[in-house]
Structure 1
Amino acid sequence: MSTIRSLFVTRLYQSALSDLGGAVDQDELLASCYTIAEDDEAGQEWCEQNDYPGYTSYASLTDLPWRFPIFAEMVKCLDAHVAAFAKELAFDLGDKALVLEDLWINILPEGGTHSSHIHPHSVISGTTYVAMPEGTSALKLEDPRLPMMMAAPTRLKGAPEELKPFIYVKPSVGDVLLWESWLRHEVPMNMTEDDRISVSFNYSWG
């Protein structure tokens, strides 16, 4: 009798940011993102020089939790979610915890995209969502084995989720998504007139 097992699983964690305790005022968070974007001249200059659509604080601000209490509250929530995800992944962390490495704002206007990428040198990466207008782009996740599939046929339209080469996830405002940092992902073009706003982050070991 034959058996088929699923091996080398890729986990995706999704939860409301407030599910494990703590609270983040989403209206205050939204207002803070816009205030920071308006005041961050170095970030604006970086985006212009690098043809980045909209705004990101990735290359300009490294201390958002210190500058704005709302981000410090967010980090408390994120720490709990990352710890829960690390437990699910059966990580043997020894006496070193996973700690926040960096945290940045993304404001993606109409027509903006964020091309496919990974997050080197980190263990767990993720995003929490501040504004997700109706019809805006979902997060696109890529099967990490895709470059090695070579001559494999395409999958049937109704294939089970775990067999599809790409997965699209449409989170709600206040959700947090976590994945291992080697998982390639992208944000397709924002087709709505309103901004798609998120806060992304990396956690490293020790």
Structure 2
Amino acid sequence: MAQIESLFVTRLYRASLSEYRPKIDADELENSCLVIAEDDEAGQTWSEANGYPGYTSYASLTDLPWRFPVFADLVKVLDKHVAAFAKDLEFDLDGRKLKLEDLWINILPPGGTHASHIHPHSVISGTTYVSMPKGASALKLEDPRSARMMAAPARKKDARRKLQPFIYLAPDVGDVLLWESWLRHEVPLNMADEDERISVSFNYSWG
């Protein structure tokens, strides 16, 4: 009898921040994101110059955990989630830990998108969700083999989830999603009526 198995698995980690301590005050985290966005003129300028809708601190602030205690606590929690995911991935880290490389705020207004991309110099990337109003964009993940499937037919619409070329995830506030940094992803059009989609993204590296 023929045997069929799945090979070269792509893992995705989803959990609530609250699974680990210290406890993150959701209101304090959201307020901090909004205050930083309002005060960060360099980030506003970069976002506008680079066609980034809304605001990101990606190119302007590298010390959020030092500036705001809630971000320092957030990093402590993320460290534990990343360690759990690295264990699941069965990485041989040679006695070292994955460490936070960078962490930034994203505020996406209605009608905004974030184009497909990867994080090429990191090991694990992820996002935690601070505000997800009704209609806010899901996270879209792309099969990493897509560029090599030049002559492959389309998948059936009801194909098994693990065979779909794209996966859409609608996270809840307080969720943390982790994936290996080579996995291409994007944020489709934010269909929320008025409120902004707020998230905090991050990269972890090894070395």
TM-score range normalised by the length of the shorter chain: over 0.9
- Within 2, Cα distance between the matches of 1:199 and 1:86? 20
Write the letter of the residue equivalent to 1:30: E
RMSD (CA atoms): 0.6
- Within 2, Cα distance between the matches of 1:53 and 1:131? 16
Hey, which bits of structure 1, 4+ residues long, moved more than 4 A? none
- Within 2, Cα distance between the matches of 1:173 and 1:100? 22
Aligned to 2:203: 202
Provide the TM-score with structure 2 as the length reference.
0.98
Deviation at 1:18, TM superposition (A): 1.2
Structure 1 residues 60-69 or 13-22, which shifts more?
13-22
- Within 2, Cα distance between the matches of 1:157 and 1:22? 42
Q: What do residues 42-63 of structure 1 show as CA deviations (whole Å, max 9, x unaligned)?
A: 1011111111100000000000
- Within 2, Cα distance between the matches of 1:91 and 1:15? 20
- Within 2, Cα distance between the matches of 1:113 and 1:172? 18
- Within 2, Cα distance between the matches of 1:8 and 1:120? 19
- Within 2, Cα distance between the matches of 1:20 and 1:151? 45
Aligned to 1:111: 111
Aligned to 1:83: 83
- Within 2, Cα distance between the matches of 1:110 and 1:204? 32
Which ranges of structure 2 fall in alignment gaps of 5 or more residues? none
Q: What do residues 39-94 of structure 1 show as CA deviations (whole Å, max 9, x unaligned)?
A: 00110111111111000000000000000000000001000000000000000001
Which ranges of structure 1 fall in alignment gaps of 5 or more residues? none
Q: What do residues 138-195 of structure 1 show as CA deviations (whole Å, max 9, x unaligned)?
A: 0000000000011111111111110000000001000000000000000001011210
- Within 1, Cα distance between the matches of 2:71 and 2:17? 12
Written as runs of structure 1 = structure 2, the 5 A alignment for 1:36-185 is 36-185=36-185
- Within 2, Cα distance between the matches of 1:191 and 1:138? 10
Q: What do residues 9-56 of structure 1 show as CA deviations (whole Å, max 9, x unaligned)?
A: 000000001113321001000000000000001101111111110000
Write the letter of the residue equivalent to 1:96: R
- Within 2, Cα distance between the matches of 1:49 and 1:19? 39
Provide the TM-score with structure 1 as the length reference.
0.99
Helix, strand or coil: the match of 2:86? Answer: helix
Write the letter of the residue equivalent to 1:205: W
- Within 1, Cα distance between the matches of 2:34 and 2:142? 30
The answer on 1:12 being equivalent to 2:12 is yes
The answer on 1:3 being equivalent to 2:3 is yes
- Within 2, Cα distance between the matches of 1:157 and 1:165? 10
